[in-house]
Structure 1
Amino acid sequence: MRRPERAGRSVRRPRHSRVRAGALAFLLTVAAVLTVSPQPAQAATAITINGSSGGRVFDGVGAISGGGGNSRLLIDYPEPERGEILDYLFKPGYGAAMQIMKVEIGGDTNSTSGAEPSHQHTRGAVNCDRGYEWWMMEQAKARNPNIKLVGLSWGAPGWIGNGNFWSNDSIDYLISWLGCATSHGLTIDYLGGWNERGRDLTWYKNLRSALNSRGYASVQIVASDDFGWGSADDALRDPAFGAAISVYGSHYVCGYRSAQTSCPSSATAINSGKTLWASENGSDDYNGGAPALARGINRDYVDGKMTAYLNWPVIAAVTPNVPWATTGVAVAPQPWSGYYSIGRSTWTMAQTTQFTAPGWRYLDSSSGYLGGNRGNGSFVSLKSPNNRDYSTIIETIDASAAQDLQFTVTGGLSTGTVHVWSTDLRSNNPADHFVRRADLTPANGTFALTVQPGHVYSLTTTTGQGKGTATSPAQGGLALPYSDDFDAYATGREAKYLADHQGSFEVTPCAAGRAGQCIRQMSEQAPIFWTTGHAEPFTLLGDVNWRNYTVSSDVLLEKSGYAQLIGRAGNYNHDGPQNLNAYYLRVADNGSWSIRSNSTAGAQRTLAGGTTAALGTGRWHKLALTVNGSTLTAALDGVTLGSVTDAAWVAGQVGYATGQGVTAQFDNLSITPLAGPAPTGEIRGAGSNRCLDVNGQSQADGSVVQIWDCNGGANQRWTSTSSNQLTVYGSKCLNAPNPTAGARVQITTCNGGAGQQWRINADGTITGLQSGLCLDVTGQGTANGTAVALWACNGGSNQRWIRS
């Protein structure tokens, strides 16, 4: 899946809420508890909810854990916050209440926002306790025993098929993964092939035969988790392939990162009689993506008869420098502080999942578009297997006015009380999300409801719905000094906060006579990559706001090659070879060393280097990289190798790295802080690496602020004061004269006004105290002169700032 940066913003519109009964007597009865709309509704739209209507069986709405390490930090959260987050994701009647979850079958290679470890790094060496996906599935099942589980590979270790995924090796590999699931008490319901990498029809037929013969006949195969419905066309030409497949799964059926207004499948797919899934969607911000999610869940069925909707991903439990750091239905970027945030997408998903269950059946004649017009919104109706209960989910995302809906219930469905819940997706106020409304009481099987624009509504005869009440603690930075000797972890596990982005770094017994546990890079050859950029193994840890420090670690090379310490690691680009904003200290077994810099554009530079005594293999050495202001210093075994001056990167994480296929061990990680940041200095955009700059070096009140190449000018030197001001030129303050989204910031003479009050947050965002909005580089731009304005905080790299 290609995931370009998101552009564009939604426009806020007024919110209203109103419910209207269908008959005058009923209207008078409930009028006292209803909010009257200030605008007249249009002529009523009639909807019949007919329990006798035909329709497909509903398989569920859920999300994907994987396709890039997006759940990595969740397991490191403390309690009770970890349990609270899991409840919001999986617990019925509490939050998103996911009904289906796809997990990545780890392959030791980056698959968008990280790499997940394989259960079989080398042929035959199976370890069923690696990684966190087993734990994720166990936690999901503990909260919802009925959740359906799906497995899918993005990449794989290089030993499989000598680099050919479509081989018998990969079939054996997948079956061994199913065996691991069994050892964890987990039943996998569905299994896929190779994510978004086409299909080999013979391979799928062989997979079906192998599953049947090795005790997994109940596992259904999904094909081919790619774009389009070519699998259905292939099945017409190859009936044996069609017989092997249970589900045709397609990605981004409404368009990649689109508004999800139109979501067709194909006539061949629909007429095949097979189950159809929208098996990956989303890739959108956990708040901003909610309107598209609301459309897509309904319209996938209305337009294309798809009976499952899988959002990518479940959660963004990653640090903010990682690609797609705010996607999913929630974010959890700080296990050290316990901070998390539940997005509007959680409540959008809940509007379906808390009112249905897999095994319910869609009612085709009771699903469609309001008034036959896509612009008015869509609705779907489903009935329970008891043939009495039903739920209707309505979205009015694009509607421009209130709409009166007149419902008639027939076909043996309950004519009892109808419970109403709604979410206002044009509101940023959590109190407007997943709200229980006044019940409706049908009269002679009829009732009426007035729906407002920009909402999702759920009408149901069921009970048990609810909205979780747990709240997150405040954000906070990861304090220095920080150290880890790795002795507290079991073999095969990942160290706390250490997140792999290529290769696999896991805990193993230390080598060369050293007692205790160490971190080892486990990938012994180039993997079967999923990304187009073939980065070498690296893993990152820590706070993106760490600035001046020494990172040190003991290192042992197991084979000829090099190992690296990483400092000031910032943003990275998963589609390039090691395209990471960072500094590196590289040492090789032959004694060569270098201090290097790299960027997301792949601009690798050697800043300093030389040769020292050969390190050899199988021997322990102590490496240290000091980053202090613009001075970078390398040391080996306590002896300084060299220093150099460079100002490309001013803050970021630490990490380990090796050459491709180089196995190495690391121990006794230590990060020691140096002098804190100066009170006056540059403020750099994390996404652009350009400085907050007063246009034209002007000192006049009203001069606008932009981003520009960092040059040390007085118009780029900002001071954070004890009175919450950001000053420049000594007497001018950063000012937001208009506290609304999209308003450009400027400088004015400091006067203590509300628009001059700012809070610098632990995640690197800068928030206006008056507006609550974030300082934002407009349009996620990176060019010189791009405007800086206020915008709703969304965690994007264009809203994170680094102080020098």
Structure 2
Amino acid sequence: MRTVPRALRQRTRGPAALAVLLLCLTLVGGRAPAAQATPTASIAAPAAIAPSTITVDGTSPGRTFDGVGAISGGGGNTRLLLDYPEPQRSQILDYLFKPGYGAALQILKAEVGGDTNSTDGAEPSIEHTRGVVNCDNGYEWWLMEQAKARNPAIKLYALSWGAPGWIGGGNFWSQDMIDYLVSWLGCAHQHGLAIDYIGGWNERGYNAGWYENLHATLAAKGFGSTKVVGADDNWSIATGMRNDSALNSAVDIVGVHYPCGYMSAMTSCSTTPDALATGKQLWASENGSEDADTGAAPMARAINRGYLDAKMTAFINWPVVAALYPNLGFNTMGLVTANQPWSGAFAVGRSTWATAQTTQFTAPGWQYLDTASGYLAGNRANGSYVSYASPDRTAWSTVLETMDATAAQNVTLKVAGGLPGGTLHVWSTDFSSEAATAHLVPGPDLTAVAGGYQLTLQPGHLYTVTTTTGQGAGTAASPQRGVLALPYSDSLAGTATGRDARYFSAMNGAFETAPCAGGRSGNCLRQQAQSTPIRWTDESADQPYALMGDLSWSDYTVSADVLLEHAGTAELLGRVGTQGRNNNGLNAYNLRVGDNGAWTLLKSDTSWSFSTLAAGTVPALGTNTWHRVALTFQGSTLTAKLDGVTLTTVTDAGYGAGQIALGTGGYYSAQFSNLTVTPGTTAPLDGTYQLVNGKSGQLMDAANQGTAAGTPVIQWGGNGGANQRWRLASTGDGYYTVTGVASGRPLDLPGAGAVPGTQLDLGAGGAGAAQQWLVVPAGGGRYTLESRADGQLADVEGGSLTLGARVIQWPANGGANQQWQLVKVG
């Protein structure tokens, strides 16, 4: 749900309109545009905040700090990172794991793949069928190896969201599942990875007997050093542990999800008396689910307040990276956004620096200092502080956050209990700024005056005062975003057996390279999951498919060779757009061909409602034979072909652009080879237009008929003004500039910033990435405008119907308020 506040922005239309405007502003608490004359009023200065004194005492009691980490899984959120080119792939990995460079993660939690959708994708199992184990399946091994190479001290944690269908006859809480996890741990050992922690079934409660058997089996099989986390859900397992000594002995760490609130400001965190009474380490074993930028402030609060409010000793963010396609539900959540492997473009979110302000100055095994942790001036509204000391007391750090403070405040730090004093170092991040110079910035060192160190804290900042050294902010910069050019082709042979095909991301099932059947040599892409998995999501249609490509692809022909090994259907999808949350639907066209010769051309939506556009029958295709399927999209005309023969030509204007996908009608094997995507003929959009919002019917407008750089862009009813006319001009590489006719200035994303909710304005010129837009057909004669700077869309804030509502940037969500009709006016 969108949380960016709305602002009412009106223009003058004479004295009467001004009176109405001022009345509206009074009623809704808005503010008039800067160009508007408004009555003067005295504004009270923020109340002064009382100074705080913090004594950092090495003799203080406190729990052991376990670390700050992030999750790869739940699911498919890391998939595209594997296909990134160098040096960008290594740069992203450095920002995530390298000490003294970026997030410097201390825990990496990885999904144990189960061939089933676990939020935004399906991660492959190591054992699709009983007894056939492939320890190289998937990309989590690679990610863990990369993390360990950069930080050998990082802790590894494994958790399942789903499982292959053969396990326990469909029962997760079975000995089969325990044995499967032991096999997975054995695979980790083959990769040189020791797994420090393992959990049960993500957010599906707990089974006491199963946890007890897991603990015993780990010990018996030589994995006794792997600690068990229960139950990666809510606090109820702690109550169970208080009443069941065997369960209490089996669970080493109590892990709970979103104890500081789901997708919230995380101003406070909660626990239970039973959890505290277990005496076990308590973890926020999944937290976050926030945008890479706007989630930084909540994260800064929660890392501190999780311990202050609930004695939680680890914070694990979901997810680690947003390396997934932007038509999926959680496409900007993570520490780094990386959704264009073909261009190498990425964006380091402010959440990276919210993490770094703790991780670069501490280590797992350090101790919290309770007497030097609390709320500034005794009031959580002023911010919080948490102190840590190394086990040998040779180093310490204090992290202070002022996310909600309204004024500057002074802090005096004193050192006691055998901790080192001398010169203290100060690092800070200003969360009101996107500038690189505002993130993890070293400040002047502190020296003691009269036994204390004086520091002034500004609002909206995160500070670390430390005796440690070696910190820093990485400087690697992203290349410019670009489209995946057509024509595109791929044999689908992959780089080796058991690998993903380039750019393909499975949403259900497991699509891996395997020796080709049907007399064809080499490798082909094969759907490997042979039975319906134990599912985590509850989508009404869970057929296997894997998607790839650029969402801007509009007029094209996609074709591939397909072979069915089993009775059923093979599927080719095109103009694949928005996916419903947790795979609960997909905007797409789908050609299904069956072994019996029956074929269907379907249209689906984001609730998995299917409508048949055409259907028919050809001579039976049989199994283990190759056939060529193709879909052509040209404007609203769709043509389906099989083995070069046209099956049907239909007209449908529902979806104007999107990716391609390969799939099967169920959990059985089919193979794919020789993918090609060739461009159609798309007329250029160069010309002058009014941009009419798809939801409100209002026009994109330069506010107050402004022509100066920085003039905000709003929506407004049509009035024929030149400030509502925009000239589109191609840049020659798929993008356009969108220039106001009245101003001669380009539509601009201020500062090329990645923060959702940033209002668009008129730029000063220059035609950089912040002033270039991918204009993509959305169906029904509408288009989206995607910023080249960060891939977000021009959006009427909150889907408002109000005159003067802001035009902002926002991640793609398929909403009509992100769609614009181009009405040509010249």
Q: What band does the TM-score fall into relative to the shorter chain?
A: 0.7 to 0.9
- Residues 1:137 and 2:144 are matched in the alignment: yes
Any conservation in 2 of the 1:773–1:792 contact (CA below 8 Å)? no
Match of 1:790 in 2: 807
Identity rate, percent: 52
Match of 2:617 in 1: 611
**Distance in 2 of aligned mates of 1:73 and 1:627:** 26
Match of 1:627 in 2: 633
Match of 2:573 in 1: 566
Tell me: CA distance 1:213–1:94, structure 2 relative to 1, closer, same or farther (3 Å): same
**Distance in 2 of aligned mates of 1:473 and 1:504:** 32
**Distance in 2 of aligned mates of 1:216 and 1:725:** 59
Match of 1:121 in 2: 128
How many residue pairs match? The answer is 757
Match of 1:556 in 2: 563
**Distance in 2 of aligned mates of 1:109 and 1:803:** 38
Aligned pairs for 1:48-447 (under 5 A) are 48-227=55-234, 229-443=235-449, 445-447=451-453
The letter of the residue matching 2:170 is: G
Any conservation in 2 of the 1:682–1:803 contact (CA below 8 Å)? no
Match of 2:501 in 1: 495
Any conservation in 1 of the 2:687–2:729 contact (CA below 8 Å)? no
- Residues 1:594 and 2:600 are matched in the alignment: yes
Q: What SS does structure 2 have at the residue aligned with 1:555?
A: strand
Any conservation in 1 of the 2:749–2:771 contact (CA below 8 Å)? no
For 1:542, which of 546, 549, 553 is the aligned residue? 549
Tell me: CA distance 1:86–1:70, structure 2 relative to 1, closer, same or farther (3 Å): same
Q: What SS does structure 2 have at the residue aligned with 1:566?
A: strand
Q: What SS does structure 1 have at the residue aligned with 2:322?
A: coil
**Distance in 2 of aligned mates of 1:625 and 1:717:** 36
The letter of the residue matching 1:603 is: S
Question: Alpha-carbon deviation of 1:761?
Answer: 4.0
**Distance in 1 of aligned mates of 2:672 and 2:804:** 44
**Distance in 1 of aligned mates of 2:696 and 2:744:** 13
Residue deviations 1:19-52, cap 9 Å, x none? xxxxxxxxxxxxxxxxxxx999644211111110
Question: Alpha-carbon deviation of 1:775?
Answer: 5.7
Q: What SS does structure 1 have at the residue aligned with 2:377?
A: helix
Residue deviations 1:529-562, cap 9 Å, x none? 1012142111001111111111000001111111
Question: Alpha-carbon deviation of 1:721?
Answer: 2.7
Residue deviations 1:739-796, cap 9 Å, x none? 799798899xx999999x9521499974799x99976324453x87898633356566
**Distance in 2 of aligned mates of 1:293 and 1:683:** 42
Residue deviations 1:314-371, cap 9 Å, x none? 0000111111111011100111001001010001100000000001000011101001
Any conservation in 2 of the 1:554–1:667 contact (CA below 8 Å)? yes
Any conservation in 1 of the 2:198–2:229 contact (CA below 8 Å)? yes
Tell me: CA distance 1:236–1:116, structure 2 relative to 1, closer, same or farther (3 Å): same
Match of 1:666 in 2: 672
Q: What SS does structure 2 have at the residue aligned with 1:257?
A: coil
The letter of the residue matching 2:773 is: I
**Distance in 1 of aligned mates of 2:749 and 2:503:** 40
Question: Alpha-carbon deviation of 1:727?
Answer: 7.8
Which 10-residue stretch deviates more, 301-310 or 670-679? 670-679
Q: What SS does structure 2 have at the residue aligned with 1:284?
A: coil
Any conservation in 1 of the 2:112–2:158 contact (CA below 8 Å)? yes
Q: What SS does structure 2 have at the residue aligned with 1:333?
A: strand
**Distance in 1 of aligned mates of 2:193 and 2:558:** 40
For 1:721, which of 710, 713, 729 is the aligned residue? 729
**Distance in 1 of aligned mates of 2:311 and 2:454:** 27
Question: Alpha-carbon deviation of 1:736?
Answer: 6.9
Question: Alpha-carbon deviation of 1:385?
Answer: 1.4
Q: What SS does structure 1 have at the residue aligned with 2:294?
A: coil
The letter of the residue matching 1:720 is: L
Any conservation in 1 of the 2:360–2:471 contact (CA below 8 Å)? yes
Q: What SS does structure 1 have at the residue aligned with 2:224?
A: coil
Tell me: CA distance 1:478–1:739, structure 2 relative to 1, closer, same or farther (3 Å): closer
Any conservation in 2 of the 1:78–1:335 contact (CA below 8 Å)? yes
Q: What SS does structure 2 have at the residue aligned with 1:721?
A: strand
**Distance in 2 of aligned mates of 1:336 and 1:751:** 30
**Distance in 2 of aligned mates of 1:512 and 1:780:** 53
**Distance in 2 of aligned mates of 1:773 and 1:41:** 41
Tell me: CA distance 1:767–1:179, structure 2 relative to 1, closer, same or farther (3 Å): closer
Tell me: CA distance 1:803–1:386, structure 2 relative to 1, closer, same or farther (3 Å): farther
- Residues 1:456 and 2:462 are matched in the alignment: yes
Question: Alpha-carbon deviation of 1:662?
Answer: 2.6
Q: TM-score, normalised by structure 1?
A: 0.88
The letter of the residue matching 1:760 is: W
Any conservation in 2 of the 1:73–1:317 contact (CA below 8 Å)? yes
Which 10-residue stretch deviates more, 199-208 or 443-452? 443-452
Any conservation in 2 of the 1:585–1:625 contact (CA below 8 Å)? yes
- Structure 2 gaps, min length 5: 8-44, 707-711, 718-722, 777-782
Tell me: CA distance 1:684–1:666, structure 2 relative to 1, closer, same or farther (3 Å): farther
**Distance in 1 of aligned mates of 2:793 and 2:805:** 7
Tell me: CA distance 1:743–1:800, structure 2 relative to 1, closer, same or farther (3 Å): closer
**Distance in 1 of aligned mates of 2:421 and 2:748:** 55
Any conservation in 1 of the 2:547–2:662 contact (CA below 8 Å)? yes
Any conservation in 1 of the 2:353–2:440 contact (CA below 8 Å)? yes
Tell me: CA distance 1:617–1:692, structure 2 relative to 1, closer, same or farther (3 Å): farther
**Distance in 1 of aligned mates of 2:227 and 2:588:** 44
**Distance in 2 of aligned mates of 1:339 and 1:240:** 51
Which 10-residue stretch deviates more, 195-204 or 43-52? 43-52
**Distance in 2 of aligned mates of 1:164 and 1:430:** 50
What RMSD, in angstroms, separates the aligned Cα atoms of the two structures? 3.5
- Residues 1:642 and 2:621 are matched in the alignment: no
Q: What SS does structure 1 have at the residue aligned with 2:559?
A: strand
Tell me: CA distance 1:505–1:775, structure 2 relative to 1, closer, same or farther (3 Å): closer
Q: TM-score, normalised by structure 2?
A: 0.85
The letter of the residue matching 1:90 is: F
Any conservation in 2 of the 1:333–1:339 contact (CA below 8 Å)? yes
**Distance in 1 of aligned mates of 2:330 and 2:117:** 13
**Distance in 2 of aligned mates of 1:803 and 1:500:** 33
**Distance in 1 of aligned mates of 2:3 and 2:181:** 38
Tell me: CA distance 1:174–1:10, structure 2 relative to 1, closer, same or farther (3 Å): farther
The letter of the residue matching 2:441 is: V
- Structure 1 gaps, min length 5: 12-37, 709-714
The letter of the residue matching 1:341 is: A
**Distance in 2 of aligned mates of 1:70 and 1:390:** 35
Q: What SS does structure 1 have at the residue aligned with 2:218?
A: helix
Any conservation in 2 of the 1:489–1:517 contact (CA below 8 Å)? no
**Distance in 2 of aligned mates of 1:345 and 1:509:** 43
**Distance in 2 of aligned mates of 1:385 and 1:234:** 33
**Distance in 2 of aligned mates of 1:754 and 1:339:** 18
Tell me: CA distance 1:236–1:488, structure 2 relative to 1, closer, same or farther (3 Å): closer
Q: What SS does structure 1 have at the residue aligned with 2:274?
A: helix
Tell me: CA distance 1:768–1:406, structure 2 relative to 1, closer, same or farther (3 Å): same
Tell me: CA distance 1:246–1:113, structure 2 relative to 1, closer, same or farther (3 Å): same
Match of 1:486 in 2: 492
**Distance in 1 of aligned mates of 2:180 and 2:363:** 32
